Structures are given as C-alpha cells and as structure tokens.
Amino acid sequence: MSVDTIAALATPQGPGALAVIRVSGPEAFSILKSIFRPRKERSEFSSHRMYHGDIVCPRTGEYVDEVLVCLMRRPHSYTGEDVLEIFCHGGLNIPQKTLSVVIAAGARPAERGEFTRRAFLNGRLDLVQAEAVGDIVTAGSERGRELALRQLKGELSAIIKDIIARLREILARLEATIDFVEDVDERVVQEGIEGEVNTVLEYIRRLAGTYQKGRLYREGAAMIILGRPNVGKSSLLNCLLGRYRAIVTPVPGTTRDFLEEMVDIEGMLVRIVDTAGIRPTSDVVEREGLKLVWDKLAEADLVLLVLDGSEELTPIDREIIEKVEGKKVISVINKKDLPKVWKEEEIADIVSPPIVHISAKYGDGVDDLKRSIYEVLVGGGVEGPFSMSVMRERHYHCLERAANALEKMKKNLFSHPEIAAEEIREAIRALGAIIGTEDISLEVLDIIFSSFCIGK
C-alpha cells in the first residue's frame, strides 16, 4: 500500500453552508501546521479535538478561509492513519481553493474510495464493511440503507466468521482421523462430520438464497406496466407516483413511447416503466413504441398486467397474458368504480395470483397494490440466518463456491478423506474472500472501490 498522504473533498460540490476536506497519511500533521493558523497560538494539537482558525497558503501567505480543523491520530481514525479534517465554508470556490492549498502543502488528490480502501488494508474495516460504506452512500431506499448499515455494523461478517469457525473445527477433526487413524473409529467420526457439514451447507445455501432480495434492496427493482390501450396504465403510474406525470386521455395510443420514473414502495426503490398500449397498429411511431415494450419486459423484475374490469377480456388481453408467462406478475383489475362484467372465478382461471382490484381514477386499492408489489418482489425469497441478506454478486458467488466445495467434500469423505479435507479448505478460502481474510487480488479491490465517490 502507498504510504503517501491523500486529500479530497468529502462533501458534494456546489452551494452549501459547509464543506469538509479530508486528509489521510503520514504528512497530515505537518500539513496542518503548514497551512493552519489557530486563533490561539499553540505548538501541539490534541487528537479528536476541534480547533478554530484560518487557512493560509504557505507559499503566498494568502488568507483562504476561516475554518474548524480536527486531527485524528492513528490508529484511532477512519483509515487507521493520521487523518485531518478541515471544515470550511461551502460553495464552489472556497472548498476547491482550500483543497488546492492542502495539495500544495504535500498531499496528492485521492482516488475513488481510497480512504475506505486504506481503512480495509489497515484493518479498520473488513471487506464487507468497506463495501457497506459505499452502499450506504448510494442507498436509494430505506430498506437498502438499513441493510447496508447492518452490514457496516458487522452482522454479515459475524455470520461468515461463525461459519468459517465451524468449518475449521470440522477440518481439525477430519485431519485427526487421517493422522491418527489407528486411535479412532474412522467411520463413526466421518459420519458425524458428514452430519455437521450438511448443517453448515444448508446454512450457506440459505444465506446465498437471500441474494435476490438483497440485490433488490441495494439496486432497486424494475417494474413494467403492461396492458392494451385505455385500461388505465398511465392513471396507475400517476397513482403510484402520487403526482401527475403521464398524460391521461380517452384517446387510444396517447402513450406512444415509454415513461420511466423512480418511486419508493414499502421502503424499496422501484423503477416503474409505463408502456404504450399493446394493439395492432399501422402507425410507424407506435410500432416502434411497441418494440420497446418487449425490450423492457425482458429486463423487468415484475410485471403489472392491467386489465379493464368493466369490459370483457379481449384477444389482445389474452395475448398479453401469454406473453408474460414465466415472469413475476401481479394482475391489476382496474376500474373497480364501474360495474364488473365478469366473475372473479373467470379471471382466476386465466391469470395467476395475486389479483388486485383498484380504481386508478380514484386511488382505491392502490395501497393494497403497493403491499402486493413488495411481497411479490421479496416475500418469496429464502430467509437467511438472522434475517440478514447478501446484497452483492461477489458475496453470492463466494457462497456458491463454498457450497460447491462442501458438496465435493461429501463425495470424497469416506473414500478420499485427504481430498475431502482440501475441499473444506477451499470452502474456508471462498468464505474468507467475502470478508477479506483470504488473499484478495488488486484487480478485485480496484473493482470494488472504483464505484465509490472520491473522498470516501
């Protein structure tokens, strides 16, 4: 790891009351002494205390800003190094001017995620916690924020460490049967090991099974509204958004392109796509819009299939029902404010549950629909240990790698115990890669921290 000193703006650029400049590295204290003029003369600065004074350019003597500064001595800092934070006035000019003075005094501009990367490399955070820092910053929903915060607090890391500890115990017992075969009943010990491995394997599979839910919490879900013209798709979009976004008229084909909006549903970020009404058409523009419908359908995590409850099902309705087969679907029966023309059992034979009745015109039933959206997206997922979910694809693949190694271990346990022992070691390596206790390549670290903002 580089031992130079880095600096970056830790708050967003633009107008604001305050901005924070973060500095980390061995020269943090000397930079502080070089550029900071405290209001009360002093030669030393205590760790984790705020001091009031001015930033002055050491080369020109130019006064830059009146600030507060805080020096945090290693190892009791975010990065594990000496860290300096400068609280200056916000805006466009002063933070950049202050940062340029810091860099001129001996720091270099930080790269994306470099502060958190140093925190990981210095043992202040494990890799799951480091990734959670980025997830907290980018969280677009309440549930995503909550889950990222729990991972930052170490809940997922504790689960992984517990699994590793159990595997190490199993490995020690297996190695004892190999080394001291004449002193133990090998078959009895191996049968006991097999039972314990089955328990751990189920534990890992359950945790891996939470990935789909965790991914949706972290990235959000894509949901498409489908239906023929004039069934109320655009009215439904406006209801879900709580504002007027889509033009609503009785003229078929009003929506010719697709509209895309983000909304928080039950604490989950959902990207809603309102599409053109599906119908045969000779209009060139409308045909292009319909092509986009099927592209968006392929990307969707959930389909809202909108049907008009005041009219008989049409051949187009039935065609759309066939098109969405195999996808997660909620059948939305709109216009409940009007008399229904068919019985519930008739539609139940044609579409899959859940079926939700609404009036997009008056908003009736929309709250029930929101609950159904959340339940269909995540309610069917496998509940993981302690209700924790994994949010990153990297974690999921490591868990799958560990599970596959344990499956191979079981096949070799009775015939080739030495190979079985190596497969347990492989499972431990795979799990250790999640929290960063095993060797992690620079390429992997580059990928992880390249998604961070500069200054974090």
pLDDT digits (tens, 9 = 90+) for 411-448: 999 889 999 999 999 999 999 999 998 877 888 888 88
Structure-token match 């140093």, residue found: 118
Q: Are residues 301 and 392 in the same domain?
A: no
Q: Cα dihedral sign for 368, 319, 339, 224?
A: positive
The residue from 76, 110, 144 where one domain ends is 110
Q: What are the start-end ranges of the H helices in 413-441?
A: 417-435
Domain assignment present for 430? yes
Of 285, 340, 267, nearest to 308 (Cα)? 340
Q: State whether residue 385 is helix, strand or coil.
A: helix
Q: What distances in angstroms separate CA 447 from CA 113, 214, 394, 441, one per listed residue?
A: 10, 20, 11, 10
Angle value at C-alpha 212, between 211 and 216, nearest 5 degrees = 110
The strand order across the sheet containing 83-91 reads 36-38, 50-56, 63-72, 83-91, 14-24, 6-9, 108-109
Q: Are residues 46 and 180 in the same domain?
A: no
Other CB atoms within a 10 A radius of the CB of residue 16 amount to 13
Query: Which secondary structure element, helix H or strand E, spans residue 262, and what is its range?
Result: strand 259-265
User: What is the rounded distance in angstroms from the CA atom of residue 336 to the CA atom of residue 451?
Assistant: 46
The CATH number covering residue 320 comes to 3.40.50.300
Q: Give the range of the structural domain holding residue 414, as residue numbers without chain letter.
A: 130-210+386-450
Q: Are residues 60 and 160 in the same domain?
A: no
Burial of 400 (0-12, 13-18, 19+ CB in 10 A): middle
- More confident: 164 or 13: 164
- 95-145 pLDDT tens trace: 999 999 999 999 999 999 999 999 999 999 999 999 999 999 888 888 899
| pLDDT score at 251 | 45
User: What is the rounded distance in angstroms from the CA atom of residue 28 to the CA atom of residue 107?
Assistant: 8
- 380-404 pLDDT tens trace: 544 444 478 999 999 999 999 999 9
Which residues make Cβ contacts (< 8 Å) with residue 200, sequence separation at least 6?
163, 166, 167, 170, 406
- Mean of pLDDT values over 279-285: 58
User: What is the rounded distance in angstroms from the CA atom of residue 325 to the CA atom of residue 303?
Assistant: 10
pTM, entire model: 0.83
Of 92, 125, 98, 83, nearest to 13 (Cα)? 92
User: What is the rounded distance in angstroms from the CA atom of residue 203 to the CA atom of residue 403?
Assistant: 10
User: What is the rounded distance in angstroms from the CA atom of residue 14 to the CA atom of residue 90?
Assistant: 7
The CATH number covering residue 432 comes to 1.20.120.430
Q: What is the DSSP letter of 378?
A: I
Q: Are residues 196 and 231 in the same domain?
A: no
Domain assignment present for 47? yes
Structure-token match 């599979």, residue found: 205
Q: What are the start-end ranges of the H helices in 281-365?
A: 284-299, 315-323, 344-348
Cα 343 off chain centre by: 42
- 257-275 pLDDT tens trace: 568 889 989 889 999 998 8
Rounded-to-5 percentages of helix, strand, coil across the chain: 45, 20, 35
Q: If you write DSSP's letter for every residue of 95-117 in order, what string do you get?
A: HHHHHHHHHHTT-EEPPBTHHHH
- Mean of pLDDT values over 174-190: 69
Q: If you write DSSP's letter for every residue of 57-98 in order, what string do you get?
A: -TTT--EEEEEEEEEE-TTSSSSSS-EEEEEEEEESSHHHHH
Total domains, the chain: 3
Structure-token match 């002494």, residue found: 33
Answer whether 126's CB lies under 8 Å from 120's CB: yes
The CATH number covering residue 61 comes to 3.30.1360.120
Of 91, 33, 46, 84, nearest to 65 (Cα)? 91
pLDDT at 67 over 70: yes
Q: Are residues 84 and 201 in the same domain?
A: no
- 204-239 pLDDT tens trace: 999 999 999 999 999 999 999 999 988 988 889 989
Structure tokens at 187: 């078959």
Q: Are residues 169 and 232 in the same domain?
A: no
- Angle between the 393-412 and 417-435 helix axes, to the nearest 10 degrees? 170
Q: State whether residue 173 is helix, strand or coil.
A: helix
- Indicate the pLDDT class of residue 279, thresholds 50, 70 and 90: low
Domain assignment present for 417? yes
Compute the half-sphere exposure of residue 33: CA atoms within 13 Å on the CB side of its CA.
8
Domain assignment present for 71? yes
Q: Are residues 305 and 355 in the same domain?
A: yes
Domain assignment present for 67? yes
Q: If you write DSSP's letter for every residue of 342-365 in order, what string do you get?
A: S-HHHHHTTSPSPEEE-BTTTTBT
Domain assignment present for 276? yes
Structure-token match 């020690």, residue found: 172
Domain assignment present for 117? no
Domain assignment present for 429? yes
- Proportion of the chain above pLDDT 90, given as a percent: 61
Q: Are residues 188 and 310 in the same domain?
A: no
Q: Are residues 232 and 321 in the same domain?
A: yes
| pLDDT score at 289 | 62
Q: Are residues 346 and 441 in the same domain?
A: no
Q: Are residues 96 and 10 in the same domain?
A: yes
| pLDDT score at 183 | 53
**Exposure letters 370-395 (e unless 16+ CB within 10 A, then b):** bebbbebbbeeeeebbeebbbbbebb
- The residue type of 333 is I
Q: Are residues 186 and 58 in the same domain?
A: no
| pLDDT score at 15 | 87
The residue from 79, 110, 141 where one domain ends is 110
